[in-house]
Structure 1
Amino acid sequence: MDKLMDNPWFIKMVALVLAILLFGSVPKNDPDKPGDVNVPSDEKVETIEEVPIKSYYDTDTLVVTGVPETVTITLQGPKNLVQQAKALRNFEVFVDLTKADMGKQRVPITIRDISDRLTVTIEPGYANVSIQEKVTKEFKVEAEYSRNLVEEGYIAEKPTVNPSKVQITGAKDLVDRITYVKATVNANGKISDSITREASVLVLDKDMNKLDVNVEPDTVEVTIPVKSSSKKVPIDIVRKGNPPEGVTIESITADTKEAEIIAAPEILSEVKNVRVEVDLSEITDDTELTLPVIISNGVVKVSPEMVKVSVRVTKESEKTISNIPIEIEGMNDEFEVDFLNPSNGQTDITVTGPSNIVAPLTAGNFKILIDVSGLDEGEHEVDMKVTAPENIIWKLAKEKANITVAKKEA
């Protein structure tokens, strides 16, 4: 049955039968009866919108543009024929370009397979068409994406396209205008890893206008390689505050010496280190701390984010070392020096520092002297100078010595 409905001759036969039945149903006029008048069939006007147009030309070698997709037709005539044509739509609206020349021209839009008793108006009645030679060329596809897609601190390398080339078919003048063949990649949110996306191929002229051509294939796969912009830098230990009284910081060490940072290339080139800050004010014993790695502005990420820091301390001790002899420097051979205070020419010194350093100290670790050069005869008060080991704090029992300078007896 479907095949019969597709047969135009079957449709025509059905239309003919319907016309005969309609004709037979019209009452006959009796001329002998008064009041009967011969009245022609009622006329009707109908408008049919969005009627598709067919174009006839050599599709293998030519490209035609300018033919509208649809037209509006108006049918006027006997009601039954108008209704039949509207219901069955067994007519065809077309443009015949089989004998048309190349180039631009104005051609009529015509209709066929419709009753001669109907008046048909087609709007528009003409089409301004362009007939061009059909050409096919191969073009390389350029991947395009917004740099804003890439997460800060990451770098997108040159994307790859698969397939890298496409076949573009169209009118010669359009194909000759092709300047860009692009595949634009879109993504939801920022990317920090390599991605592969399917992208539609866009064909554009030099003014970035889209060209009406056929692209094969019309979609390609674009891969954007993404890697982090990173480098390794040393972790500096920064001391904050002072340890409590009596506590000496012997050493501070971190279990990790380097960290990897991620940042934009221009930031990366400026950053030389990261740091951990150790607050010494609360350190009283050997301690292990887990501290955050502090980064400068512009650094997106650091790894590791936390490090373990070991703090070793030495408790301070105090010790007094007695009877350290005071040496005399710069004494003239003609003079002699006697100590008034301290009378025995010896002094005491109190030292404070790490117990492991302070405990073994003796008088032999210190040198105390006075300089008497240039002094005249008489009593004098002179400064005592001390040479002591490092990493300790010392204090003399008396800062100055009282002496007398006198000429030696002959």
Structure 2
Amino acid sequence: MDKLMDNPWFIKILALLLAVLFYFSVAPTDKKFSDVNVPGKQTTETIKAMPVKVYYDVNNLVVTGIPRTADITIKGPVSHVQSAKTLKNFEVYVDLTNAKIGKQKVKLKVKDLSDKLKATLKPASVNVTVQEKITKEFKVEAEMNSGQIEDGYSAGSPIIEPKKVKVTGAKDVIDQITYVKATIDEKSKLSETTTKEARIQVLDKVLNKLNVIVEPETVKVTIPIKSNSKTVPINVVNKGTSPAGVTIESIELDEKEATIMGNEEVLKNTESVRVEVDLSKISENTTLTLPVIISNGITKVTPQTVKATVVVKKQEEKTVSGVPLKVRGLPDKYKAEITDPASQTINLVVNGPSSSVTGLRQEDFTVFIDLTGLVEGIHDVKIQVEGPSNINWKPDKSSAKITITNNA
């Protein structure tokens, strides 16, 4: 046995037998799969969405119309088809290295595919446009929504850096450029000067975005923000009527002025704000907290409330009786007799601050009738009263009846 193991032919024959046994033990019994390795067996497969490369002068030309992908159907020996499908070690391309400027129809081609395979492309050819590539400089406009500005503030003219950008593309596309905008996308409201990075958008006249290369792609935009404010006086407006016996002596505010905010036109036409004091509810000295009232269009006021100190004087009413009725303006040649009131006196109902009314007497008032220009006869003459300036009064009669006669 040892001699057989030393014989090289015995070892080779034994290895062959083992290989045959191993093959039959692992080989599939399904004929469908075993046919894969049958020499000369043909098959067809379609590979979808194979990338399409294009070769052209990228520095001076722009090409449009090339599809991003194409479907390729390959036919040939099973092993080659399966290998190509798995590895995709070939290329679908369009060769425009010698293409002329203008529209043209070109074929899609395949390279690096095994010569044992036949390929069919879909699409097989495409219509392309080859154009001259140009670069042109454009001024950038800043674009932002006015709704991004906080109420009571306004935006000045944006400052753009750089002011111009270079746009590269096909000549006919460059000729369509109408707007080059730096669009500011800011979600929060702006209340102070802000600098933002803004992306450039290149648009035609109907605001379609154009397929071009922009350098730089973004610019810095500074938006000057200023407060629209104005300082105006706070006016006191009295509403209603004071209760009987109460006089408002003074109303003093702890803040005399307010700062208002709004758009410039509204501020221009606003000269003051106000607080309203309801006199009907005030019967004694008091301090009120009142809202500052603003007109339409004012967005903010500072302060929003003020304190109003109200000082009142309580009034007293009394009757001063028997005030003598005097005659004025009667020439010496005449004599006048007061026939009504027969007592030749009147009564006055007076009211005012208690301190002023309490001590009033007849002597504090002058009640008279003015007979200037009157002649003989019977006359009704208006009764007039003079008295202290800080009180009110009312006589119990408004006129007197007199008889004028000649002294001669």
TM over 0.5: yes
Q: CA deviation at 1:276?
A: 0.6
Q: Residues 361-405 of structure 1, C-alpha deviation per residue, up to 9 Å, x if partnerless?
A: 665653321234536457x76542113344422133554546554
2:266 equivalent to 1:272: no
Kindly indicate whether the alpha-carbon contact (under 8 Å) linking 1:234 and 1:258 is maintained by their aligned counterparts in 2.
yes
* Superposed CA RMSD: 2.9
Q: What are the residue-to-residue correspondences of 1:65-80 with 2, within 5 Å?
A: 65-80=64-79
Matched position secondary structure for 2:82: helix
Is the alpha carbon distance of 1:345 and 1:181 closer, same or farther for their aligned partners in structure 2, counting shifts above 3 Å? same
Kindly indicate whether the alpha-carbon contact (under 8 Å) linking 2:180 and 2:201 is maintained by their aligned counterparts in 1.
yes
Q: Residues 19-76 of structure 1, C-alpha deviation per residue, up to 9 Å, x if partnerless?
A: xxxxxx9xxxxxxxxxxxxx86221111111111222223233332222221111101
Q: Residues 198-223 of structure 1, C-alpha deviation per residue, up to 9 Å, x if partnerless?
A: 33211122332222111122223333
Q: Residues 181-234 of structure 1, C-alpha deviation per residue, up to 9 Å, x if partnerless?
A: 112223336544444443321112233222211112222333333333332332
- What's the counterpart of residue 233 of structure 1? 232
- What's the counterpart of residue 29 of structure 1? none
Query: Distance in 2 between the 1:253 and 1:76 partners?
Result: 102
Partner AA of 2:104 in structure 1: Q
Query: Distance in 1 between the 2:71 and 2:130 partners?
Result: 24
Kindly indicate whether the alpha-carbon contact (under 8 Å) linking 1:72 and 1:124 is maintained by their aligned counterparts in 2.
yes
Partner AA of 1:367 in structure 2: T
Kindly indicate whether the alpha-carbon contact (under 8 Å) linking 2:62 and 2:131 is maintained by their aligned counterparts in 1.
yes
Q: CA deviation at 1:239?
A: 0.7
Partner AA of 1:327 in structure 2: K
Gaps of 5+ in 1: 1-24, 26-38
2:84 equivalent to 1:85: yes
Matched position secondary structure for 1:374: coil
Is the alpha carbon distance of 1:369 and 1:62 closer, same or farther for their aligned partners in structure 2, counting shifts above 3 Å? same
- What's the counterpart of residue 60 of structure 2? 61
Aligned residue-pair number? 371
Partner AA of 2:175 in structure 1: D
2:169 equivalent to 1:173: no
Q: What are the residue-to-residue correspondences of 1:6-405 with 2, within 5 Å?
A: 41-188=40-187, 190-321=189-320, 324-339=323-338, 345-358=344-357, 366-372=365-371, 374=374, 376=376, 382-396=381-395, 398-401=397-400, 405=404
Kindly indicate whether the alpha-carbon contact (under 8 Å) linking 1:377 and 1:407 is maintained by their aligned counterparts in 2.
no
Q: CA deviation at 1:152?
A: 4.5
Query: Distance in 1 between the 2:377 and 2:133 partners?
Result: 124
Given the two structures, how large is their TM-score scaled by the length of structure 1?
0.80
Partner AA of 1:158 in structure 2: S
Is the alpha carbon distance of 1:170 and 1:399 closer, same or farther for their aligned partners in structure 2, counting shifts above 3 Å? closer
Mean Cα deviation higher: 308-317 or 201-210: 201-210
Query: Distance in 2 between the 1:273 and 1:311 partners?
Result: 21
Kindly indicate whether the alpha-carbon contact (under 8 Å) linking 2:376 and 2:406 is maintained by their aligned counterparts in 1.
no
Sequence identity (%): 50
Query: Distance in 2 between the 1:356 and 1:139 partners?
Result: 85
Given the two structures, how large is their TM-score scaled by the length of structure 2?
0.80
Kindly indicate whether the alpha-carbon contact (under 8 Å) linking 2:315 and 2:352 is maintained by their aligned counterparts in 1.
yes
Query: Distance in 2 between the 1:371 and 1:58 partners?
Result: 118
Q: Residues 92-126 of structure 1, C-alpha deviation per residue, up to 9 Å, x if partnerless?
A: 11122222223332222111111122110111122
Mean Cα deviation higher: 74-83 or 327-336: 327-336
Kindly indicate whether the alpha-carbon contact (under 8 Å) linking 2:376 and 2:403 is maintained by their aligned counterparts in 1.
no
Query: Distance in 2 between the 1:178 and 1:403 partners?
Result: 102
